[in-house]
Amino acid sequence: MKQYRTSPGFVLSRQNLGEYDRIIRLFTRDFGRVDAVAKGVRKPTSKLASRMEPFHEVQWRLVDGRGLPTIIGADIIQAAPDIRELKTLWQGHGILELTEHSFSAEEEAVAWYELLREAIPTALSDRGDVAWFVALSRSLDELGLTPELPNTETVHTFHLANGHFDQKAGTHEISPRMLKLWRLSQHTTLRQILKLQDITADVRALNDLLEQFWHYHTGFTLRSRQLI
């Protein structure tokens, strides 16, 4: 018996299948990460093709069968904003990559989905650095890689390889403001962090550290980095 289900979600990645089909990796609000087949989507006449682009939030209609579920319908909930700079494009794709690597198949993650709804349009704007920072921090949390963050208001150094803070020896110097931002990113919404003033320099320094730390400890290379 066929089982039908619907959920809003984003396209994480796509893979060609045969002559006209594609396997679409989705991240949905209700079912987590799902791989599904979009039949005939590469035909010029396909009505689904425009829904399969990254950054659209889409209501997906799936039918489960013996193999992968099949996409039988899709309606755009929120279209992707206009992309003005290559830098914002890589950050948007980067957040989708973090999503793909942070969750296993069918792992429900409503909180992350709500982050995506804010982070994707922000990543494609002039505040993309902030969205990238929050996504990196939350991904490290999801993967169990976040180090214990000091509460003392002093300058610390952080050792990239062993993931420890030390006031004397380390590879990166972290100011009290940077530590406060890192702690805030774990439990404060992106919308609230965007309201903070004069955080650009601290966010960019944290992005450099967290991206290196994420790469070092996951072993994954972000394909989106090739866009810049």
Residue with structure tokens 């987590």? Answer: 32
pLDDT of residue 33: 96
Q: Which of 38, 61, 78 is the last residue of a domain?
A: 78
Q: Could you tell me if 50 and 108 lie in one domain? A: no
133 and 213 part of one domain? yes
Q: The dihedral of CA 18, 20, 24, 30: what is its sign?
A: negative
Mean pLDDT of 57-65: 95
Q: Looking at the structure, do residues 62 and 129 belong to the same domain, yes or no?
A: no
The answer to whether residues 112 and 169 belong to one domain is yes
pTM beyond 0.85: yes
Based on the domain organization, do 141 and 198 belong to the same domain?
A: yes
Q: Do residues 223 and 146 both lie within one domain?
A: yes
141's tokens: 């949390």
pLDDT at position 46 is: 93
Q: Rounded to an integer, what distance in angstroms lies between the CA atom of residue 178 and that of residue 150? A: 11
Looking at the structure, do residues 92 and 155 belong to the same domain, yes or no?
Answer: yes
Same domain, 121 and 199: yes
Using the predicted structure, report yes or no on whether residue 171 has a pLDDT greater than 80. Answer: yes
pLDDT at 167 over 70: no
Q: Count the domains in the chain.
A: 2
pLDDT beyond 90 at 1: no
> CA 151, 153, 155 angle in degrees (round to 5)?
105
Is the pLDDT at 84 greater than 70? The verdict is no
Supply the CATH number for residue 200's domain: 1.20.1440.120
- For residue 85, what pLDDT is reported? 74
**Quick check: helix, strand or coil at residue 71?**
strand
Last residue of a domain, one of 78, 103, 131: 78
User: Are 144 and 42 part of one and the same domain?
Assistant: no
- 67 and 122 assigned to the same domain: no
The answer to whether 55 and 80 are in contact (CB under 8 A) is: yes
pLDDT for 181: 96
Whether residues 132 and 70 fall in one domain: no
pLDDT score for 228: 64
pLDDT in tens, 129-163: 999 999 999 999 999 999 999 888 888 889 888 88
Which residue's structure tokens are 């990559």?
Answer: 97
Share of the chain above pLDDT 90, in %: 76
Question: Of 78, 101, 128, which closes a domain?
Answer: 78
- pLDDT (0 to 100) of residue 65: 82
Which residue range is the domain that position 15 belongs to? Answer: 3-78
Model confidence at 88, in pLDDT bands (50, 70, 90)? Answer: confident
> What mean pLDDT comes out for the span 116-136?
95
CATH number where 29 lies: 2.40.50.140
Q: Are 28 and 34 in contact (CB under 8 A)?
A: yes
Residue 108 has what pLDDT?
A: 85
Better pLDDT: 167 or 44: 44
Single out the residue of 27, 53, 21 nearest to residue 39, CA to CA: 21
Domain shared by 181 and 97, yes or no? yes
| Higher pLDDT, residue 146 or 169 | 146
